[in-house]
Amino acid sequence: MTRLQEVNRTSGFLKKALETMPSGKRTEYLNRKLRGIIRYAHSHSPAVRDKLHSAGMAPKDIQTVKHLQHLSITKKTDLIDLQKKDPPFGGFLGIPITELRRIYVSPGPLHEPGEADYDEIAWAQAMFAGGFRPGDRVINTFSYHMVPFALHMLDNSLHQLRCITIPTGVGNTEQQVHVLRNLKVTGFCGTPSFLLSIAEKAEEMGLTPSKDLSLRVGLVAAEMVSESLRSRLEEKFDMVIRQSYGTADIGCLGYECMEKNGMHIPDDKLVEIVDPQTGKQLPFETPGEIVGTTFNRVYPLIRFGTGDLSLLTNKPCPCGRTSPRLVKILGRIDQTTKVRGLFVHPGQVDEMASRYPEIARYRMLVTREEHKDLITFQVELREGTLPNDRMKEDVERTIRDVIKLRGEVQFVARGTIPDGARKIEDQRTWD
């Protein structure tokens, strides 16, 4: 019996009825939740009222998720501006301020309200799907100061799951190791890189994490975990690690289940993938900006633009959850370039290069000649590898395969691509 099987951590649901709704029922459910929050926010949150009015719409005009795309998107920078004009919450607060329990301050500066009765289920769903179970002792290594993530979102969600939280916060790796050991801690919340620091510290202290520590499950967030780091950590500790995606403003927007094939949308959030230029919704499997809407009456963020690029899939997941999944976070929208009408993002450039161990450095140039966009994939080869036509043709096929556009490979001498060069260099001029 492996350590994971001592408790059934790999199957089951936190909210079965919600998580397994058939697709038609889910659409109805989301439309109903959306109508509810729009009606509520229109009468309680001046910022949402303005948003509707400036689109020439009344709450009755938003009956389905499709109608939502007529409203403007609020970016983080917009939120900062709105909060400056109308402090502290930019008009989004949906309850009297005297009813708040806390006010959080994130970099920006941005204020986030903390209600007395936290009832969002998104992070708890993420934890349950990642194998957390009642009775787990969990170190929460995110910062408890100022920002809402550790204290408001995670601590409350661990409590919902009836886990026992040890609020260790960030840093102090040696002390974290002592805590892990003395309290036989079974769960970890934090960044993957911090978990690696803990592993290294434990080894430095003469411990074998998989034998001397009791970690079984980890929920990582705030930075994406690479598969190589994930398997390294899972092996070191003999644990499972699942990641989730969210922001301090809107909370969790996606979480992995045991299948590890994308991040399910939690049932108290609505996620759209949109064309960042027009704000219009894009079909499944098409990359665009992640825009989130929460059903939270305290802080009803309607169409919050994350600036992150991803795509949604609704292919069935063997875990039984029926919510669509964010396939993966592909990068930031502001690093994305539109070429001949298609988005090209740095993740795709990395993917192309990763297929060829011979490639040492690379970047993609986008230029314009006679009103046509041209793609050049500049490649520096590792020492001992010589450019050849076969490889050129092969990489050009890969370009078509990955970004669906034709591009030309240009082998350049080592040292040509400057340090810190952007993965996609847009050199087009428009006149």
Q: Which is nearer to Zn ion, 126 or 353 (CB)?
A: 126
CB of 20 to Zn ion, least distance (A): 11
Residue recorded with tokens 């050129």: 392
Query: Least distance to Zn ion from the beta carbon of 350, Å?
Result: 25
Residue placing its CB nearer to Zn ion in the complex, 153 or 326: 326
Among 319, 327, 330, 366, binds Zn ion (CB under 5 A): 319
Q: Which stretch binds Zn ion (CB under 5 A): 146-154, 239-247, 256-264, 397-405?
A: 256-264
Decide if residue 203 touches Zn ion (CB under 5 A).
no
Q: Measure the CA–CA gap between 97 and 267, rounded to whole angstroms.
A: 27
257 touches Zn ion by CB under 5 A: yes
Q: Dihedral of CA 155/156/159/163: which sign?
A: negative
| Nearer Cβ to Zn ion (11/427) | 11
Going 315 to 321 to 326 to 328, the CA torsion angle's sign is negative
Which residues are CB-neighbours of 329 under 8 A, at least 6 positions away? Answer: 224, 245, 290, 308, 309, 310
Single-letter residue type at 255: Y
Choose between 318 and 415: whose C-beta lies nearer to Zn ion.
318
Find the distance separating the first CA and the last CA of the chain, reported in whole Å. Answer: 68
> By CB under 5 A, how many residues form the interface with Zn ion?
5
In whole angstroms, the minimum distance from the beta carbon of 10 to Zn ion comes to 11
- Least distance in angstroms from the C-beta of 234 to Zn ion: 18
Q: List b or e across 80-113, with b for residues whose CB sees 16 or more CB atoms inside 10 angstroms.
A: bebbeeeebbbbbbbbeeeebeeebebeeebbbb
Closer to Zn ion by CB, 312 or 317: give it: 317
Q: Which is nearer to Zn ion, 14 or 317 (CB)?
A: 317
Q: Are 264 and 316 spatial neighbours (Cβ–Cβ below 8 Å)?
A: no
* Residue 177 in the binding site for Zn ion (CB under 5 A): no
Measured from the CB atom, the residue of 257 and 312 that comes closer to Zn ion is: 257
Smallest gap from residue 324 Cβ to Zn ion (A)? 11
Site residues for Zn ion, 21-50, by CB under 5 A, read none
How many degrees, rounded to 5, is the angle at CA 284 between CA 48 and CA 130? 80
Cα separation, 274 vs 130, whole angstroms: 28
- For Zn ion, the closer of residues 230 and 321 by Cβ is 321
- Find the binder of Zn ion among 203, 259, 358, 426 (CB under 5 A): 259
Residue 215 phi, psi (nearest 5): -60, 135
Give the Cα separation of 105 and 147 in Å (integer). Answer: 5
Nearest approach, Cβ of 259 to Zn ion (angstroms)?
Answer: 5
Please, what is the minimum distance in Å from the beta carbon of residue 315 to Zn ion? 10
From candidates 47, 163, 253, 317, binder to Zn ion by CB under 5 A: 317
Q: Which of 33, 111, 236, 321 binds Zn ion (CB under 5 A)?
A: 321
CB of 317 to Zn ion, least distance (A): 3
DSSP code per residue over 259-272: T-SSEEPPTTEEEE
Min. distance of Cβ 294 from Zn ion in angstroms?
22
Residue 252 or 257: the one with the smaller Cβ distance to Zn ion is 257
Per-residue binding string, Zn ion, 270-309, x by CB under 5 A, is: ----------------------------------------
**Scanning the structure block, which residue is given the tokens 């390294």?**
232
- CB nearer to Zn ion: pick between 122 and 403: 122
Taking the C-alpha atoms of residue 28 and residue 139, their distance in angstroms, rounded to an integer, is: 38
Task: Specify the 3-state DSSP secondary structure of 114.
Answer: strand
Measuring CA to CA, how many Å separate 302 from each of 45, 52, 92, 325? 11, 10, 9, 20
* Min CB(19)–Zn ion separation in Å: 9
Instruction: Choose one: 9-17, 176-184, 197-205, 253-261; the region binding Zn ion (CB under 5 A).
Output: 253-261
For Zn ion, the binding residues (CB under 5 A) are 257, 259, 317, 319, 321
